[in-house]
Structure 1
Amino acid sequence: MLIEKTLAVIFTGIGGYSYGALKAQVEYGGNVYRYKLTAAIDCDPIACHNHDLITGESKSIVMDLFSRKQYIRFHGQEPPEDWHEITPWDIWVALGYRVPNVFFLSPPCKGLSGLLSKKFADSEKYQALNELSVRGMELVLLACYLYGGDVPEIVHFENVPRITSRGKTLLTKMKKLLKHYCYAVDMNPSHNLGQIGGLGQNRVRFLIMARQESKIPNFIYQPAKKPMKTIGDIIGPLPVPGDTVAGGWMHRMMNLQWKTWVRLALIREGGDWRDLNALDWWNYGITYIPRGAGAYGVQAWDEPSNTVIGNARINGSNGCAAVADPRTGFKDNTHVSLYRVSKFTKSAPTITGAIGPTNGCINISDPRLSQRSSRHPSVYQIVRYDECAPTVTGTRFGSGALAIADPRIPERPGRYTDKYRVQDWKKAGNTITGVTDVQSGAQLIGDPRLTCECRSGSYGVQAWDEPAKTVFASYDVHAGTAAVADPRIPEDTERGVWIIISEDGTWHRPLTTYEGAILQSFPTHLPDGRPFQLEKCSDAKAREYIGNAYPPAAATATSEVMLLALAKADAKVEFELSHKTIWVAPDSTEEVSDVTHLSHFAQHRR
């Protein structure tokens, strides 16, 4: 029999948690347990639209949960005339006049994140934003208590780890609130969603899990940790970046400045902007640039300069006009994700809402430069001599036939030393023997008397500002003048998509927005069959939505352990022995603090 447990979500965003929870399913006692989403509340109408697009269910509700005072502190002005402060009754109506079994909230974390400086985090604006954590939880619990006479069996809260320092007072208030409603509370400051969901990224989060001991006397156990995937495991099967037909509009490449592409190419795999400080940049010049005096001279930072003269200029022949300034502009406290290049074979850092490499967007060293979807994986495969061979087929080399790294050439005892020997044209020859085959010792010579000459025009390079020569049928650089001296080298600030092969042989490039979504474990396609994409927003906003989302795979894992706890509670299981780690154990050592908010909303009870 199918049994549905109800779920309510506030601060739902684009629906990462909702989508993952709706995928959860548990079988226990002959019954199948799933979630039914009753409400998904957010103040952003575009986020709500995309929530319904991704989940396939029209459950989102646009609601601004700010109090009037919080609204003024955050926006710096009075709210518009059609705005009203949400009350517990409004929440009760949104919940469909029923108490949900599970209540999840992931409030805005911008004011609590390390990506925001402490100066801005301490401002009135972001303090008001932070207070939504307490207000959102309080509104839902009070609505359920006042109008439903009950509270949810489980409350699940998620935010960034730095809430333990920047939001310490908020955590104290939330714990008191949950204790007031008789919840057993567990606070975990280092809950890795990447390990729980088997993601391709590390995503450490602060988590509160609370259960009603009277309704769920059994324990909730922590989800099993899964092996994490690498970036390559996740995005390797995806369409080639830039293929917006197969990957949707969010799979387009960023138009970055030329100098940004160069910087990314020069950063080692797994490194970040700090590698640029140790770069031996003088080995990467196209032409020699003299240091010190002379045209285009560059003065050393740590040495006395040449004489400063009145007509000194960069291309002048003397004087002091340029200096090698080591002050890159990056401060000591610059975030380490700037220009970070992640390894294709390792898990990604946390996906955030950053929109470019210059402010923390993830880049990868992509080795798939010559990938072709129709190419057989055995093409040009070199098999090790000491390993089992793949299946032997009837193909030729270049189409999948085996090649082997054979180490046995110098090991044959008694081999004659003249075999395959190529003699120098300018030196005396070896002894002439009667051997006729080169593999048996017949003599070879490096003969320089090649008489072959290319036809006129072969490898010819035409001037950019002159008419071209005749275009003929075998138009090729090997057969005629088919090349041009193209002066269009990008300026430092010119934007585009350029492939620069780094020293490790890969393309260091930004992740596309589509790839970021897949690393967050969103599906590759929407319920309507289109590639995963968000609507009614810019690429930058889409990255923000995706970075703020709860990974669906992690949501599925946590939702299933909660479903199992609810199923055992239905079966009246009060005691069991298990090797699993208990998530929410009863805590009788702390006193329950009085919460004085009830009278404030009593007037709204109907």
Structure 2
Amino acid sequence: MSLRIETREYTHFHFFCGIGMGAAGFNEGTARLGNLEARLRCIGGIDVDKDAIANFDRFAGVKGTCMDLFTLEQYIAFHGKAPPPGWREATPADIQRAAGFERPDIVFLSAPCKGFSGLLSQTTSLTDKYQALNELTLRGVWLMLETWKNDPPGLIIFENVPRIRTRGRRLLDLIQALFRAYGYQYAETEHDCGEIGNLAQSRKRFLMVARHPEKVPPFLYQPPKHKLRGVGEVLDLMPLPGDPAGGPMHRIPSLQWKTWVRLAFVEAGSDWRSLNKLQVEDGYLKDFLIVPERHNGFLGVKEWDKPMGTVAGSSLPNNGTFSIADMRMPHDSGQYAQYGVKRWEDPSDVVINVKSPGQGRYAVADIRPTQGPGAHHNKFRIVPYSGPAGTVTGCDRVGSGAPCVQDPRPSQREDYKQTKYRVTAMEEAAGTVIAASTTGNGAFAVADPRPNGMTQDRENYNSQRHYGVLAYTDTSLAVPGFASHDNGAWSVADHRPAVLDVENPIIMPAAADRLTCVITAQDGTWHRPFTTLELAALQSLIDLDHPDSWWLHGSSDSQWREQIGNGVPRLSAKAMGDCFAMTLLLASTGETFLLSNTPIWVRPLAVSLAVDTSQVPA
């Protein structure tokens, strides 16, 4: 006898919905409890970006609404000007209309996070522009609570960057006060989207979950965690960049030539600090020479024992391998070996009346010590500190004997000249600070044993790993909306060979020339930026098994990247949706506990979901 499955549908609505990555993931969320099955359905979303809404309609499967949630004061503070004619503040009635006049069981809010991010300086974050952007968090929560105050959603999920706990503490306290006022219990926590979504990137996010205790009494369980994957596990499922099968989003960006060179010298798994290992003299690399790759034998030289290419009517060195490495000594070549030095065991060339070192090989590498009679080996000689001095004569000068000594004792003079360019020990007192206190006129430098002493206050900057190159087996960092080769680890050491255009010879470009190219790095791989499509794959936005899904509305890579980076990874949202669906399914059956092998979503959250916090003093 088969078990009859009863399906129960729960709805979700999204504020600041973006292109609908989170909504698409929630739509895939399911849960099963006995013969009951839960399904999630999106009833709408709101975002101020009309192009993002065009993509939301496709991914969420429901029409989104383009709407500005700023107050008038916030709009002016952010944009620096009054709104255009016809603009007005959004109301709860507008939110109801955007939801198709349905009441959601789950509301998801992922407000703009730029003002809370550590990538923005503290000074900039405090400007009116970004304070207005930050206040959208409070504004969005208030609109949501007021819209459905007569029939509250059972679960509210508020997501943002972890730094909101410090930079946005005042706003979080106000939001929690609103939750209490509208009868909700809540808890703050954090999670890694990569771990719960089985992704190839680490994306740590702040999460605040609120529940209406009258509607949702059960625990909320944590999604299972997975080990982070390597970027290569995702990229191996995709064609190489530039392949027409990848579409317009799968193209290598055009970068400046100097950027390509920098990426080539970054060690896989490292960042710009690898470049500090290069030796540079007078602005040029000391140990490397960069030349165009040889194509079709251009200026090619054949080895002595190798066959040559076909002899054509234009067999010249610059259009084929028409030169040879000849190991035979040219006839009478000795007469042209100016400044040549003969080995001790070699015979001399013919001695004639015009032979001098500048006219041939008329010098010898003499292995005998120069101690013979008449040798003036004392001129300009320095005597070791432990050795005897030469005889003191009436013409003791450095040019006439050995009256110099290697003195190992440090100078004890304290005069001005002895302190020029001097470095003071860490535990030593500095010299007097005068009006001309520079390294060239006193001991105004210190031997500092502390590592990275000058960068301790730039932790956030260094952690971004600009010009960073990931190994093919590494996990990507979180994909933000501004991901580019020079502001994070957004390049990969790709071991797969690229197809070169051998029909067009390469000419060395200028440093600022923009081009797309392949440079084989020192580790034998191609260090290149991620394509826009690859960033979408790392965010689990696209279905790798269905190339027909590999596109977004629009034609701008910068716009696509911003939309992709601002989204919640689809598979991470699905993992959360599974848990929310189970919690709502339990609530609908009157259950308050489930025996599960997955832990309750962190202790503070478990307490908030199980205890009536209305009885606990605020």
| TM-score (norm. length: structure 1) | 0.68
CA drift at 1:489: 1.1
Q: Counterpart amino acid of 1:509?
A: R
- 3-state DSSP class of the match of 1:250? coil
CA drift at 1:530: 2.6
Alpha-carbon distance in 2 for matches of 1:117, 1:542: 25
- Matching residue of 2:71: 67
Alpha-carbon distance in 2 for matches of 1:124, 1:483: 55
- Matching residue of 1:157: 158
- 3-state DSSP class of the match of 2:201? coil
- Matching residue of 1:194: 194
- Matching residue of 1:241: 241
Alpha-carbon distance in 1 for matches of 2:29, 2:595: 24
Alpha-carbon distance in 2 for matches of 1:36, 1:546: 22
- 3-state DSSP class of the match of 2:55? helix
| Residue 45 of structure 1, aligned match among 39, 42, 50 | 50
CA drift at 1:184: 2.4
Cα deviation 1:335-362 (Å, max 9, x = unaligned) = 4331000111121111122253123360
Alpha-carbon distance in 2 for matches of 1:350, 1:573: 37
Distance 1:3 1:502, change over 3 A: same
Distance 1:483 1:158, change over 3 A: closer
- 3-state DSSP class of the match of 1:92? helix
CA drift at 1:231: 0.2
CA drift at 1:525: 6.5
- Specify every segment of 5 or more residues in structure 2 that has no aligned partner in the other structure, as ranges: 1-5, 280-284, 292-419, 422-454
- Matching residue of 2:251: 252
CA drift at 1:570: 1.0
Cα deviation 1:148-194 (Å, max 9, x = unaligned) = x1211000111111111111111111111112223221211x31000
- 3-state DSSP class of the match of 2:132? helix
| Residue 129 of structure 1, aligned match among 133, 137, 152 | 133
CA drift at 1:227: 2.5
Distance 1:75 1:563, change over 3 A: same
- Matching residue of 1:23: 28
- 3-state DSSP class of the match of 2:548? coil
Q: Which structure 2 residues correspond to residues 114-513 of structure 1 after superposition, within 5 A? A: 114-145=118-149, 149-188=150-189, 190-243=190-243, 245-280=244-279, 281-285=285-289, 333=458, 334-335=461-462, 336-360=464-488, 362-369=490-497, 488-513=507-532
Q: Counterpart amino acid of 1:79?
A: P
- 3-state DSSP class of the match of 1:222? coil
1:549 aligns with 2:567: yes
Contact 2:483 2:490 in 1 (8 A): no
Cα deviation 1:210-229 (Å, max 9, x = unaligned) = 11222121101111102321
- 3-state DSSP class of the match of 2:542? coil
CA drift at 1:93: 2.2
Contact 1:254 1:512 in 2 (8 A): yes
Contact 1:230 1:347 in 2 (8 A): yes
Distance 1:45 1:162, change over 3 A: same
Alpha-carbon distance in 2 for matches of 1:483, 1:142: 66
| Residue 36 of structure 1, aligned match among 41, 48, 53 | 41
- Matching residue of 1:433: none
| Residue 515 of structure 1, aligned match among 534, 542, 558 | 534
Distance 1:110 1:371, change over 3 A: same
Alpha-carbon distance in 2 for matches of 1:92, 1:277: 57
Alpha-carbon distance in 1 for matches of 2:537, 2:86: 39
Q: Counterpart amino acid of 2:77?
A: R
The percent of aligned pairs where both chains have the same amino acid is 39
- 3-state DSSP class of the match of 2:533? helix
Distance 1:283 1:560, change over 3 A: same
CA drift at 1:531: 4.2
Alpha-carbon distance in 1 for matches of 2:508, 2:582: 62
Contact 1:184 1:585 in 2 (8 A): no
Distance 1:487 1:45, change over 3 A: closer
Contact 1:37 1:59 in 2 (8 A): no
Cα deviation 1:387-424 (Å, max 9, x = unaligned) = xxxxxxxxxxxxxxxxxxxxxxxxxxxxxxxxxxxxxx
- Matching residue of 1:475: none
Work out which of the two has the higher radius of gyration on C-alpha atoms and give 1 or 2: 2
Segment of structure 1 superposing worse, 272-281 or 540-549: 272-281
Distance 1:168 1:79, change over 3 A: same
Contact 1:54 1:526 in 2 (8 A): no
- Matching residue of 1:8: 13
- Matching residue of 2:580: 562
Contact 1:98 1:144 in 2 (8 A): no
- 3-state DSSP class of the match of 1:48? helix
Aligned length in residues: 440
CA drift at 1:271: 0.9
- 3-state DSSP class of the match of 1:38? strand
1:585 aligns with 2:606: yes
| Residue 82 of structure 1, aligned match among 56, 81, 86 | 86
CA drift at 1:42: 0.7
Distance 1:195 1:540, change over 3 A: same
Distance 1:213 1:586, change over 3 A: farther
| Residue 113 of structure 2, aligned match among 103, 109, 116 | 109
Q: Counterpart amino acid of 2:486?
A: T
Alpha-carbon distance in 2 for matches of 1:239, 1:117: 39
Q: Counterpart amino acid of 2:228?
A: M
Cα deviation 1:565-589 (Å, max 9, x = unaligned) = 1111111102444453222334469
CA drift at 1:32: 2.0
Cα deviation 1:476-530 (Å, max 9, x = unaligned) = xxxxxx999x682111111111211111111110000000000001123799x63
CA drift at 1:58: 3.1
Contact 1:354 1:361 in 2 (8 A): no
Alpha-carbon distance in 2 for matches of 1:53, 1:569: 31
Alpha-carbon distance in 2 for matches of 1:592, 1:82: 47
Contact 1:156 1:209 in 2 (8 A): yes
| Residue 558 of structure 2, aligned match among 514, 517, 540 | 540
CA drift at 1:332: 7.2
Alpha-carbon distance in 1 for matches of 2:174, 2:492: 41
- Matching residue of 1:385: none
Distance 1:61 1:369, change over 3 A: same
Segment of structure 1 superposing worse, 82-91 or 122-131: 82-91
Q: Which structure 2 residues correspond to residues 586-601 of structure 1 after superposition, within 5 A? A: 586-587=607-608
Q: Counterpart amino acid of 2:96?
A: W
Cα deviation 1:45-101 (Å, max 9, x = unaligned) = 10000111233x232111111111111111111111210111112212222223210
- Matching residue of 2:376: none
Cα deviation 1:364-385 (Å, max 9, x = unaligned) = 000111699xxxxxxxxxxxxx
Contact 2:231 2:538 in 1 (8 A): yes
Contact 1:179 1:592 in 2 (8 A): no
Contact 2:138 2:174 in 1 (8 A): yes
- 3-state DSSP class of the match of 2:286? helix
- Matching residue of 2:314: none
Alpha-carbon distance in 1 for matches of 2:129, 2:503: 60
Distance 1:501 1:517, change over 3 A: same
Alpha-carbon distance in 1 for matches of 2:289, 2:251: 31
Q: Counterpart amino acid of 2:273?
A: R
Alpha-carbon distance in 1 for matches of 2:563, 2:615: 37
Distance 1:172 1:7, change over 3 A: same
Alpha-carbon distance in 2 for matches of 1:233, 1:117: 35
